[in-house]
A and B are shown apart, each in its own frame.
Chain A
Amino acid sequence: MKKDIILSGVGGQGILSIATVIGYAAIDSGLYMKQAEVHGMSQRGGDVQSHLRISDKEIFSDLIPFGGADIILSIEPMESLRYLPYLAEDGWVITNNTPFNNIVNYPEVKDIETEIGKVKNHILIDADDIARSLGAPLSMNMVMIGAASGSLGIDFSKLEAGIKFIFGRKGDEIVNKNIEALRAGKSFSENFLKK
């Protein structure tokens, strides 16, 4: 079992909370894990990514090779495209469809969706809307993990345990909202793939 995941988004959007939950679930499942992240300059509203690697064998490189990622999990649609060079031929692009528009030359949304549509395996999800409809707008990241859960190679219950561990000190209500968001993302993907 080996999964290489590129997490992407914009500085400040919180891709690291995704890495923390999946990382915890991986360790909890007795797997090896390496996760390279970006600190410093680009955290100020620039593009950010994290290389998350999970395996049942020792992992060497902290970076995923080009053409090696099983999943690009992005919380911003244009950012999912920036990392296509990393995607394996049969890899998945799973991305939130809400643009984070903080530049003057942001492309047309329909053009972005056309490019995402060209990727053989993709899931486009309105994670912000799903999170809002649950009354938990801040749980958008957990919706995204749920959307990817079918391809992570980790038991769903371990992801739930990860959320409990990470958000536990904030109280049951927050934990439950995040687990609800995780499940909503999962069922969205299942329905999306049936179509």
Chain B
Amino acid sequence: MEKMLLLGDEALAQGVIDAGMSGMYAYPGTPSTEIMEYVQRSKTAAERDIHRKWSANEKTAAESALGMSYAGKRSMCAMKHVGLNVAADCFMNSAITGANGGTIVTVADDPSMHSSQNEQDSRNYGKFALMPTFEPSNQQECYDMAFHAFDMSEKYQIPILMRLTTRLSHSRSGVAVKEIREQNELKLPEDKRQFVLLPAIARKRYKMLLANQEKFEHESEMSPFNKYSDGSDKSVGIIACGIAYNYLMENYLDKECPYPVLKISQYPLPRKHIEKITSECGSVLVLEEGAPMVEEMLKGFLGNCLNIKGRLDGSLPRDGELNPNLVIKALTGKDFSMTPVPEIVAARPPKFCNGCGHIDAYNVLNEVMKEYGDGHVLSDIGCYTLAALPPFHSINSCVDMGASITMAKGAADAGLFPSIAVIGDSTFTHSGMTGLLDAVIENTNMVVLILDNSTTGMTGGQDSHAVDRLVSICEGLGVHKDHIIRVTPLKKNHEDMVRIIRQEIEYKGVSVVIPTRECMQTLKRKTKANK
């Protein structure tokens, strides 16, 4: 059969479509965005009327996917790793409610933080929630695991965590596809109280989850994705998780690896395989992309029973992505040589696009803030975070989605004046609205700038829930309508905007100023499409 050329993200998307998914829910976030984009573009998804609209945030996405599972159909939600923090409440509890229709929680981690605030390893969430976790090592496994994950989800009535990492999400390769399956019919859970987590029921279901752990472990031992290959040299055994397996095999293209290798792509850890490799080999090198999770588990707190090497003993760096060179160095101790980057090569950080409305908005803000000095602007996550860099240096924080408004509130409560929040339109509807309600309730003395470019910009221009709704949302939350002011960030409006922001800083209460102008990228795309 002819192969399709797909990114890891796209291979998973094609997999869930072919495995009979009825709905997908997601909020954009690098490196997970392309999963939903693929489903949205897919003709098959359209013909099958698969749900494929963006959600307001990861929590609403996870809950909607769980709701579809409750109704008996197969579903998936997808997000970047930090998105799982937002969805964690639903995620943790969904391990206890369990699933009805097969359901997958896909999380794309970003080790080395190419486009993120941290490099948390979502496998820890899988372990935390006691949920089976899949970690594909290549694009074909992304596709195949969609089928396997839905099957296991329905067999044990448990959601499945699917963990991808940047290099797999955004790397393309040939993928062989299977015959497409039917979707499930609408069918309510047999146990009508399965999803009612009142303490008495939750305690019972939690015991069921605990009792299932042994079965999950058995599934891992039998899994086609976990593979034990023996080797004659037992001085070292290698445990390679997810794509770390590829970095290992890259070093054995022309010769056979002499050491026993345990490839792991399904958790909980396959106990029998682990026992075999640790008992037969003198030492064990653990290769994992992200945190030293498996290494810590094997080592235990005292680390004195087995000779385990990895990120904790310095064989591999404690942080950042792996690569083939680091892996062979850890294995042989031999360093690798490479040509240095010539000194004249200058850093080229990302910046605002030409003509971007954020430039005009920050020029205004910088002029106003000259009066008050540095340190008054709490910001958020999106293209506008680039104003932390030169030449703007406009913002003083970027922590998590929505934190600009609530941090500005806390700082105002502490006495900071003026206290300014800068947030984007999509980030505002993701997690800014509830914080604004807190500020309204106390009439906190602060100014919120919602930079409205009418899209989710940094991830490539996905639909924003905020379009045409910002003013009514702010009014609905109780901001006084005289202090909700829309402006157009253009050079010619500079003086007006400076005056308005000054005036709102002087107003003792919550003000929202909304500079609104469409993202240059989406505008360009629309103009091109209309030609």
Contacts and interface: CB of A to CB of B under 8 A. Distances in A.
B247 interface: yes
B529 interface: no
A126 to B, nearest CB: 20
A43 B253 CA distance: 33
B253 A60 contact: yes
Contacts of B383: 44
B31 A103 contact: no
A42 B346 contact: no
Interface string B245-260: 1110110010000000
A27 B172 CA distance: 12
Contacts of A65: 250, 323-325, 336
B115 interface: yes
Interface residues of A, number: 48
Interface string A80-113: 0110111100000000000000110111100110
A39 B34 contact: yes
B280 to A, nearest CB: 24
Contact of B346 (A43, A67, A86, A107): A107
Contacts of A35: 171-173
Nearest to B323: A63
A39 B33 contact: yes
> Main secondary structure on chain B at its contact with chain A?
loop
Contacts of B340: 84-85
Interface stretch (B48-56, B200-208, B350-358, B369-377): B350-358
A41 B346 contact: no
B173 A34 contact: yes
A18 B171 CA distance: 15
Contacts of B339: 67, 84-85, 87
Nearest to B348: A47
A98 B209 CA distance: 61
Interface string B21-60: 0000000001101100000000000000000000000000
Interface string A2-45: 00000000110000000000010001000011111111111111
A105 B170 contact: no
Contact of A37 (B5, B172, B348, B386): B172
A78 B350 contact: no
B414 interface: no
22 contacts: A11-B350, A23-B5, A32-B173, A35-B173, A36-B167, A37-B172, A39-B170, A39-B460, A43-B350, A47-B348, A57-B253, A62-B167, A62-B173, A63-B324, A65-B250, A78-B345, A79-B348, A81-B345, A84-B340, A87-B339, A103-B348, A108-B344
Interface of B: 3, 5, 30-31, 33-34, 114-115, 167-168, 170-174, 243, 245-247, 249-250, 253, 323-325, 336-342, 344-353, 383, 386, 458-460
Per CB-CB distance, the 9 closest pairs between chain A and chain B, nearest first, are A40-B30, A40-B115, A46-B350, A36-B171, A62-B171, A44-B350, A61-B250, A60-B246, A85-B338
